[in-house]
Amino acid sequence: MARLPILEVPDPRLRRRSVPVSAVTDELRTLVADMFETMYDAAGIGLAAAQVDRPIRLLVIDLVDGPPDAEGRSTRNPRVFINPEILEPSEETSVYNEGCLSVPDQYAEVARPARIRARWRDLGWVEHEATLDGLLATCLQHEMDHLEGILFIDHLSRLRREMLLKKLAKARAEAAREKAA
């Protein structure tokens, strides 16, 4: 497994639309393993292939950050979503304070449908259809946005988005100054 570089704003590759996956291959399995390693290393809960410069309709999610198991390892529940689609979003919305590995250390409240009926394939190419809610529904919608070239900041007002991007630029400039010193 390998840790992959994560694209960050304003990289234009984040704005590409992803293409469907046609089959599970050894290359795809390796990419999935690398994406999980990358996501865990970055302390994320979701990662779309588009964020690691692979514009295909693939994403991984793991919301579990529970207590350690008997050997002291944290328990995980890795989930793979291939060619995900939302069939029925609820009219009811919920608001989460979202962040993104492609917009590091920046967070904002985003309203999304509270429940969704979704369909996807897993790494065994088995098709699933389920109604999802809570953080899983929010996370899936967030990651699916990446497959369309959309970032969570695109759901914010122009003023809020500009403020957040200025804050990110300032943090990057400070980090560069510290590194140079």
Read off the pLDDT of residues 54-82 as tens digits, 9 standing for 90 and up: 999 999 999 976 556 667 666 788 999 99
Query: pLDDT value at position 68?
Result: 62
Query: pLDDT value at position 83?
Result: 98
Q: How many CB atoms lie within 10 A of CB 100?
A: 26
CA dist., res. 165 & res. 34, Å (int): 28
Active site residues: 143
Query: pLDDT value at position 72?
Result: 65
**What does each C-alpha distance from 22 to 33, 125, 128, 161 come to in angstroms?**
18, 10, 16, 35
Q: How many CB atoms lie within 10 A of CB 140?
A: 22
Predicted model pTM = 0.91
SS3 category, 171: helix
Query: pLDDT value at position 71?
Result: 72
Predicted confidence (pLDDT) per residue in 6-16, tens digit: 999 999 999 99
**What does each C-alpha distance from 83 to 8, 139, 172, 178, 181 come to in angstroms?**
23, 15, 34, 42, 46
Query: pLDDT value at position 73?
Result: 65
SS3 category, 146: helix
Query: pLDDT value at position 139?
Result: 97
For the domain made up of 12-180, give the CATH fold: Peptide Deformylase (3.90.45)
Query: pLDDT value at position 69?
Result: 65
- The domain ranges of the chain are 12-180
Regions of the chain with pLDDT less than 50: none
Query: pLDDT value at position 46?
Result: 97
